[in-house]
Amino acid sequence: MSLILKWALIAAVVAWGVWTWRRMQVRGPQSETQRTRAPKPTVMQPTQACLHCGVHAAQAEMVRGARGMYCCVQHCQAHGDHAQS
């Protein structure tokens, strides 16, 4: 009975080795820096509230009017303002 267990253990170790080797061939080895690399921090953009509705948006995406900043051209026009370039 111990001979059967011995061969079963050897077969299991060989199967595990083949599985590990094939997995490394597909994925490729990962270096230590690839596994522990921190994600890039996101850059925070200043926000401002729309003068018409009060929704906050990034200043780079807002429409600048003569009286203030708006979230879209429609709100700029609805507030009686005109968009500036």
Tell me if 51 sits within 8 A of 79, measured CB to CB.
yes
Position 46 scores a pLDDT of 92
Tell me if 46 sits within 8 A of 59, measured CB to CB.
yes
User: Could you write out the DSSP letters of every residue in the chain?
Assistant: -HHHHHHHHHHHHHHHHHHHHHHHHHH----HHHHHPPPPPPPPPPEEE-TTT--EEEGGGSEEBSS-EESSHHHHHHTT--B--
Cα end-to-end distance, the chain, whole Å: 87
pTM assigned to the model: 0.49
The per-residue pLDDT for range 53-84, each reduced to its tens digit, is: 999 999 999 999 998 999 999 999 998 888 88
